[in-house]
Amino acid sequence: MEKAAVIERAKDYISKERDAGFRSQVEELLAKADSSDALKELEDRFYRDLEFGTGGLRGVIGGGYNRMNTLVVKSATQGLASYLIKTFPQKAAAQGGLKAVIAFDSRHYSAEFAEAAALIFAANGIKTWLFSSLRPTPELSFAIRQLGCDTGIVVTASHNPPQYNGYKAYWNDGSQVIPPHDTGIIDEVINVKTIKEISKQEAFNRGLLIIIDKEVDEPYQAMVKSKLFRPDLIKEKASEVRIVYTPLHGTGALHVEKVLGDLGLKVITVPEQREGDGNFPTVAFPNPEEAAALDMAIKLGVKEKADVVMATDPDADRFGIAVPGKDGNFALVTGNQMGVLLADYIFLSLKELGKLAKNAAMVNSIVTTGMQKKVAEYYGCECYECLTGFKWIADVMRKWENGEAGGKSYVFGTEESYGYNISTDVRDKDGVSAAALTAEMTLYWRSKGKSLLERLDELYALCGYWQEIGISKYFKGPEGPAIMDGIMEEYRKNPPKTLGGITITKVRDFKNGADGLPPSDVLQFFLEDGTIVSARPSGTEPKIKFYATCCALIGSGSLEAAKAEAARKLDAIKKDIRAVIGD
């Protein structure tokens, strides 16, 4: 990008940004624009607008059009408000009108961005409920349905590093927006010319801004507890289980401690990680997918002789656990394994209680382990696949409720990235509900003389040993998107004949949709042994992701031999992928 164009965009931003802190960042860089380092930083902040994608916004916090700041948040919210007014003109004109609810997590500027968005909604005549303090993403989804809102926003960057923040937009059913609304909102955001604004006091005076907390907290907690299968078992056996929990400096403690405490369970929260802190001082990545994020919790688990260690990410939609093995050391349970255990427990419980519908089914994403389908089939049920992202699981949920797509009875949704949903009252992944159900599941298998790991081994004997790997590579800067596009295009033009020495028998390309699923930039390679390798650029970060899932049958052999065979295959596949993307 030419220096003059960068400077012109920087000056335009300065003229519009009302936040003095963000404005001064750009002013200081402009003053040093003759320096190559300052000019490079300016270019990164202004070579493009931070994209309002299909999931909303996510980016590094700072001044500039390619950063998360108040001006970018206001512009995005104005576009969303304009789309709502155009989509529901009669409701917008009626008394009571359009309604929205906003939540935010512990990240830097989350509260400020949430209030800025609320005041833009209010300025557009949209009545807005704003949580008084940090709340988890699943509660935002629940609140939309509870309050009868037309949209919702949660300000969060989920599990990203501290320098990031983001903004997720939701529709009136409590799920993140999908076509045609996502592209309609994006068009409005791109074409924002004037941002309507109103003061906080005027918004209060006109009844367009309402602060909430327990009005939604209490119903949400009651809902979580109502979805458990064996409250009597918990009441009887709760004292036998010790749980160590970490919210990783995020939003989870409020609800996880309250819900599990109400059930009589002893929860020991990692004290250094209990309070919300956008610096995430004790972890490199506040993500339960990262083994290191659970280090402090596992150390406390060893000390307290915990039966299970639990973690939620900063906005408490993701959930992970570690459990003690036979050797006494804690073993991390992957997102795929956790999904298998929860699917098994849900189907088993519904069957034991005589509540398993003939058309009961679960949903998972196309990059999630195939073992979950085997578990569903074991109980005479089905597992449907969808694109990656919980909005697509919610879409299947919505279609089934409307009698479409076979009109199945939804019981569970999951994806490999530590996301689980057990209730149609929430249309997103829910780490709080997953924590409660996992506590009950732990008690149930303990009552049968088994640990979660022992139950998982039993499921391997039934379904074969399944193992998965994920490979990611970041491509930052202006050239990053082009590099990722080039990798995907090369795979499309010249797909490999083998991966890891195993012949590829089928390629499934979702660029224009496939097998009844919508278009997405995803490629899948089906290997002759049943292994599936998927490639997709991330929709929220500058990285390309690869997923591989393979199965080794146990048969007359041992579980250890099956594990060795799966590991050998995946190591060879990983080597081939690394040769393409580097590292």
Catalytic positions are 158
Amino acid identity at 29: L
**Residue from 553, 549, 544, 554 nearest 569 by CA:** 549
Q: How many angstroms separate the CA atoms of 43 and 46, rounded?
A: 5
Mind giving me the DSSP string for 49-63? PPP-BTTBEEEEBSS
Q: How many angstroms separate the CA atoms of 398 and 404, rounded?
A: 9
Spatial CB neighbours of 31, under 8 Å, sequence gap ≥ 6: none
Coil, strand or helix at 274:
coil
Angle ∠(514,518,522) on CA atoms, nearest 5: 65
Q: For residues 116 and 77, is the Cβ–Cβ distance under 8 A?
A: yes
Judge residue 232's burial from the number of C-beta atoms within 10 Å of its C-beta, 0-12 exposed, 13-18 middle, 19 or more buried.
Answer: exposed
Beta strand extents in 416-537 (DSSP E only): 419-421, 465-474, 498-499, 502-509, 523-527, 532-537
Pairing of strands 57-60, 164-170: antiparallel
Q: How many angstroms separate the CA atoms of 314 and 301, rounded?
A: 20
DSSP 518: P
